[in-house]
Amino acid sequence: MTKRPKEPAEHDTRLARLVLNLRSQGVTDPAVLASIERTPRDLFTPDLFKERSWEDSALPIACGQTISQPYIVGLMTQALTLEPRARVLEIGTGSGYQTAVLARLSRLVYTVERYRTLLREAEARFNRLELTNVITKFGDGMLGWPEQAPFDRILVTAAAPEEPRDLLKQLKPSGVLVAPIGKGPVQKLCRYAGDGAGVFGMDILCEVRFVPLLEGVAREL
């Protein structure tokens, strides 16, 4: 008797639908899409929202923060034009989802988070996924990580009020920085690309909504 082929798991169906949606919106880099496929978003999502893990939407996490919309994760990652040997600085670890996507595309990811609770939870997820190329720091993201500079790429996952000059100083002359810029509820997603001589041109990719980039560390959480 011939066995019937197994029906695809609901998880696989949702993931395939998400990837197709990302591709239709312009996230077409095969490596970026493959990294998103390999990163289980449900692992980074609070239990209350597990059923919505594979929706293309931002979701709340602890400390009043969010796990970014997969489209924005894909868009920002693609805009970095990552290379396998890249050293990447991420400002705002959050749930660790964006970090995990970056880790599969880079040599090293240095990530800074101002909430201890979020950082501890993210570190546990990195360990579970055996991501050994992620280096974490509890600290003020506005300061970056000067001891490890210069970086090939920098990604900021919270809205900076203005051009992040201090972070640009930690970027290699030919590096790329991607960050939401603006003080209001809607910001501009900006890409800064170096010309190799220390001059950075800026392009606006789209409008986005991010939590603000705050100074200092959160002492109570």
Give residue-wise pLDDT tens across range 42-67: 999 999 999 999 999 999 999 999 99
Give the pLDDT band (50/70/90) at residue 218. confident
Neighbours of 66 (CB within 10 A): 17
Residue 112 has pLDDT above 50, yes or no: yes
Where are the chain's structural domains? Answer: 11-208
Which own/partner contact pairs does 197-206 have at CB distance under 8 Å and 24+ positions apart? Answer: 197/173, 198/173, 200/168, 200/171, 202/163, 205/75, 205/79, 205/178, 206/75
Q: What pLDDT is stored for residue 12 in this prediction?
A: 81
Asked about 24 being catalytic, the answer comes back as: no
Question: Which strands sit side by side in the sheet containing 134-138, from one edge to the other?
Answer: 134-138, 108-113, 87-91, 151-156, 171-181, 187-194, 200-208
pTM higher than 0.85 for the full model?
Answer: yes
**Catalytic choice (35, 53, 68, 95):** 68
Could you please state the CATH topology (level 3) that the domain comprising 11-208 is classified under. Rossmann fold (3.40.50)
